[in-house]
Amino acid sequence: MSSINIKNQFKQEVRRQKLIDLYQRVRDQSEEICLPLCMDDYQIQSTMETSPPKWHLAHVTWFFETFVLKDFVPGYLPWNANYNYIFNSYYQTIGDMHARTNRDVLSRPTIEEVYQYRFGINEQMVDLLTTFDESQWQKIVPRILLGLNHEQQHQELLFMDIKHNLWSNPLRPAYLDSHPQNRDSSAELSWESREPGLVTIGQDDDSFAFDNERPKHKIWLEPHQLCSRLITNAEYLDFMEDRGYQRPELWLSDGWSHIKNKHWKSPLYWECQDGKWHEFTLYGLETLNPSAPVSHISYYEADAFAHWAGKRLPLEAELETKLLELPIQGHFSDSGIYRPQAGVGQNYGSLWEWTASPYVGYPGFKPLPGSVGEYNGKFMCNQWVLRGGSCVTPLDHIRPTYRNFFYPHDRWQFAGIRLAEDL
């Protein structure tokens, strides 16, 4: 073998080993998130938007089985023929599925069986990763990266759902017993102005990105300024004390109907005890830190706050243009602190930022071919884009082009408010 061939083979083995290491690391992280849970916690589904942790662990495994092993291992036999029905989330082209709202009735398979499922699929995945022919790299690897990014999205969902599940228990149990230090000062609020101009957003290169981030395209931005940091609890309290939740003129019509129907008078997880505000966190009920960014805010609340402040929410292109100029640094789940902190960098991480941009396909958007085309595109209706990542997002999951999306009434995700203003 020539020295060039040996070099190439070595390069191929290194990149293959890197992929195997990445696969194992991401899969391990999901299990690590569940380590503080007791057995009963795995089964809880406190509201229709959430899923039991056990279901998350199985569903992400089903994703690898369905979209990698079945597609790329000749003659693959399913681990359990029933799992396709109970762990399919929303892929209509794959087949019928168990109702999302009733995932908590799945007391079987047991959590032990779900872990066996995970380990069994991991073995077969590592086998595939070790042996697949280099000529298939372009076909298999994007699918594996999709599976890994999908699992990272479910890692964030695990934190969100575990928090909601624990909060729904009147004993308000904590996910973790420690209390990370709470800083008591936030940075001074300032404004950064932006010239008008044609900007380019979206993704076109070969690196991993979801289909909803593609293609790259141009957008005209009018002159505007962006607030230097997220809105704090203290600033949100000013809005509440100014009767923010009682003044219909501040609210979108749908938002006003929603807060009246749901009797919302504060952000999710806030509780007033003896005249003092507290906030439920993954560390249990804590005294509200006025300097920390206000979190678990719906689009309706973010918009009403902006209206009250005489500002507006940013457009997604405005945030992406800013993020493209900055290193990806901030408060992510890798820090091990699973609540937003006062005074830390808030461009990336900390909290997802609601934008005033509807979640629709970019000009030229094409869903991925096949069943994985159901991943994003079919949800482009009635939802709004959020940007930047949060304290429960893994650092290596985020990109400046990343588009998260939720319904305007959703607020169990780690979402906050950044303001913008036209100039």
**Residues binding Fe ion (CB under 5 A):** 89
Structure tokens that stand for 285 in this block: 């009920």
Structure tokens that stand for 150 in this block: 């999908």
| Nearest distance, CB of residue 402 and Fe ion, angstroms | 16
Could you tell me if 349 and 388 are in contact, meaning their C-beta atoms sit under 8 angstroms apart?
yes
| Nearest distance, CB of residue 31 and Fe ion, angstroms | 17
Q: How far is CA 65 from CA 32, 59, 78, 87, 355, in A?
A: 21, 10, 8, 11, 35
| Nearest distance, CB of residue 409 and Fe ion, angstroms | 21
| Nearest distance, CB of residue 357 and Fe ion, angstroms | 23
Rounded distance, CA 37 to CA 176, Å? 9
User: Cα 26 from chain centroid?
Assistant: 15
| Nearest distance, CB of residue 154 and Fe ion, angstroms | 6
Enumerate residues 6+ apart whose C-beta is below 8 A from 185: 291, 342, 343
Closest to Fe ion by CB, 348 or 375? 375
Rounded distance, CA 83 to CA 98, Å? 10
Rounded distance, CA 323 to CA 171, Å? 40
Q: Which residue is nearest to Fe ion (CB)?
A: 89
Closest to Fe ion by CB, 56 or 311? 56
Closest to Fe ion by CB, 89 or 266? 89
Enumerate residues 6+ apart whose C-beta is below 8 A from 198: 218, 219, 220, 221
Closest to Fe ion by CB, 232 or 393? 393
Closest to Fe ion by CB, 89 or 341? 89
Closest to Fe ion by CB, 96 or 177? 96
Q: Which residue, among 365, 329, 362, 342, has the nearest Cα to 416 in the 3D structure?
A: 342
What SS3 state is found at 299? helix
Closest to Fe ion by CB, 209 or 323? 209
Structure tokens that stand for 358 in this block: 């509807």
| Nearest distance, CB of residue 82 and Fe ion, angstroms | 18
| Nearest distance, CB of residue 60 and Fe ion, angstroms | 7
